[in-house]
Structure 1
């Protein structure tokens, strides 16, 4: 039935959704007639609104209230009626500048990108940082103190990751250097996942020419590097601004708890990969967001080998400013992808 809507019905529906997104309130026929853009009587508008309700695009939150778009209605609006805006040159320059490396490692740049998106959209933002599946450029072990050390891994894509590890208390600086040399020799031109199994087999069969202390450092380094995705979320508080009921607050908390689970991070990446460019998920269309009543705009980004390695997105209420945020997410994803070249 949605496909059968005539031009007048589509125009009335578009005005209803745009008015709702601007005010957050139910929209009535009198309100629409007073806007002066439809040139229809309240009675004619009410008839069309009744048809839109029958089509599943509108619903009445209360008997005497105006109408609100359903989640299906919002999806219909976004897919077929939304006019997406363009970023200005100044906005593009600002995003590019704030997502630049400029002395930062890739994770710091991604964190800045997430903060930037949250600020510009006034919503929560997320950046799914890539797991390291690119060749390792360098690995170093650094002693921090008695029993504690740092393993620093730099990938060919420019990702720098630091992990704290436990070290034997009687470890000498030369053993740390030996462990670094050993790892670098075997990781040259390989991903860590490719090299990990060979190194482990050498250590288990005692073929590696390493003493016991150095072997323990290498094993700690391998264990610390799981190649897991990192989810960077900023602007949690922005999602709570319109929350009135305690029940809604709990749903928002559930959403962020779910995002922290690795299985959900993988689902996010799968969602982003399954489409071409920016994807939009509204409410119950995706199980992750159905409980919280929120929407997500998400776009994947690629590394220098044209592989999708992460995603960037914005989470907000279903009435968020799609026309402004969609190009913002799209451009940010492309800028982040260029950082990995």
Structure 2
């Protein structure tokens, strides 16, 4: 079925008024671009149409589509390509979404399940992105935060008069080390007491859960541990939560973006996209925008500043834990001529499989 047109998009009302002939010609131009990446002329479009129409009539319609901003001519006397607005209109109003084949479903589920039995969440997500990259021929990306991890043990070790090493072990086997700044006069016993206090409460829970509880029972903690130890807990958890909540970015399959290049310009586009992927903050900001709703989000070209130069697209979907809390977002980055009909359901299905994996861990 076609995806619904977003009424907030520019010129949305004008675009939806296209007649059947104009829509069919526009569809053929977009399909040709998504297949080959090359501009298509009126004569070729006329041969593809299900209704008899002369190349001259097709050219008239193409002129109308160009005036609407849906297509453009990359060179004088050349064929036409869809604009970013045209691609957005096609995706929102005309795209016929396919389905994941039974074989692909089985492959996705088997890969995620096998990885989840032996690896940390980060490693599982990395494997899932490698798998998704291989299936879609794009770059698989995922962003998640560490504060959703279920904790097992925490320990503080003084390494300098004013610095301590916090060692945090998660139930999935991952270990993180963080440097904390502490007062020089803090006695060694305070570090031990803080570790004991946290270990009595932290197992099987997230860092955020424990911090909320400790903040809510701050007065009770003061009575149990004393002022010095409580200060350490407050400082340690605040510092850890701030750092562990930083988004973690995983990218797999960048090499796929180098394949199937159709022009010299593509090489420059790919170079720019690699630079985009190195700008991790922008990738994370873009993925975070996909958290705003359920299901798949599609970002095309300059709709986000990250892809304003490289002319690339991202298809992304969120995944959740057993409490339906957002854990992260995964997706695929590639050229604007991605096979949206195939990749959209694949990203959606992968996000659901990862969510089920998290809920059953």
Q: TM-score range by the shorter chain?
A: 0.7 to 0.9
Give the direction of change, closer, same or farther, for the CA distance of 1:282–1:50 in structure 2 (3 Å limit).
same
Report the counterpart of residue 343 of structure 2 in structure 1.
325
1:288 aligns with 2:303: no
Secondary structure, aligned partner of 1:299: strand
Alignment-derived partner of residue 57 in structure 1: 70
Name which of 83, 89, 96 aligns with 2:96.
83
1:234 aligns with 2:252: yes
Deviation at residue 196 of structure 1 after TM alignment:
7.4
Give the direction of change, closer, same or farther, for the CA distance of 1:218–1:3 in structure 2 (3 Å limit).
closer
Residues 99/176 of structure 1: CA separation in 2 closer, same or farther (3 Å cut): farther
CA contact 1:133–1:193 (8 Å) conserved in 2: no
Q: So what's the TM-score if we normalise by structure 1? A: 0.81
Separation (CA, whole Å) in 2 of partners of 1:337 and 1:112:
15
Residues 130, 336 of structure 1: CA spacing in aligned structure 2 closer, same or farther, 3 A cutoff? farther
5 Å-filtered alignment, 1:1-341, equals: 1-35=14-48, 37-100=50-113, 101-133=116-148, 136-141=150-155, 151-154=167-170, 160-164=173-177, 180-187=195-202, 191-194=209-212, 207=226, 223=239, 226=243, 227-241=245-259, 242=261, 244-245=264-265, 247-258=268-279, 260-261=280-281, 264-269=283-288, 271-341=289-359
Deviations along 1:158-182, one digit per CA (max 9) or x if unpaired, are: 6553224579xxxxxx999876534
Deviation per CA, 1:218-269: give whole Å up to 9, x if none. 97787556222211111122223437346534421331132x12x6524422
Aligned-pair RMSD on alpha carbons? 3.6
Listed one character per residue, the Cα deviations across residues 285-325 of structure 1 (whole Å, up to 9, x for unaligned) are 22222222101111111221112221111111111100100
- Answer whether contact 1:26 1:66 (CA < 8 A) is retained: yes
Structure 2 segments unaligned to the other structure (5+ residues): 1-13, 158-163, 181-188
How many residue pairs get matched? Answer: 323
1:136-175 alpha-carbon deviations (Å, 9 max, x no partner): 44114599xxxx9883432xxx6553224579xxxxxx99
Could you tell me how far 1:195 is from its partner in structure 2?
Answer: 6.0
TM-score, with structure 2 as normaliser: 0.77
Instruction: Give the Cα–Cα distance (whole angstroms) in 1 for the partners of residues 216 and 251 of structure 2.
Output: 36
Distance in 2 (CA, whole Å) between partners of 1:42 and 1:121 is: 35
Query: Could you say what secondary structure the match of 1:151 adopts?
Result: strand
Question: SS of the residue aligned with 1:276?
Answer: coil
Structure 1 residue 39: Cα displacement? 2.6
Aligned partner of residue 299 in structure 2, secondary structure: strand
How far apart, CA to CA, are the structure 2 residues paired with 1:308 and 1:253? Answer: 28
The superposition leaves residues 39-87 of structure 1 with CA deviations (integer Å, 9 ceiling, x where unpaired) of 3221121111111111111100001210000000011111111111111
Secondary structure at 1:99 match in 2 = helix
**Is the 1:252–1:292 Cα contact (8 Å) retained in structure 2?**
yes
2: distance between equivalents of 1:3 and 1:197? 53
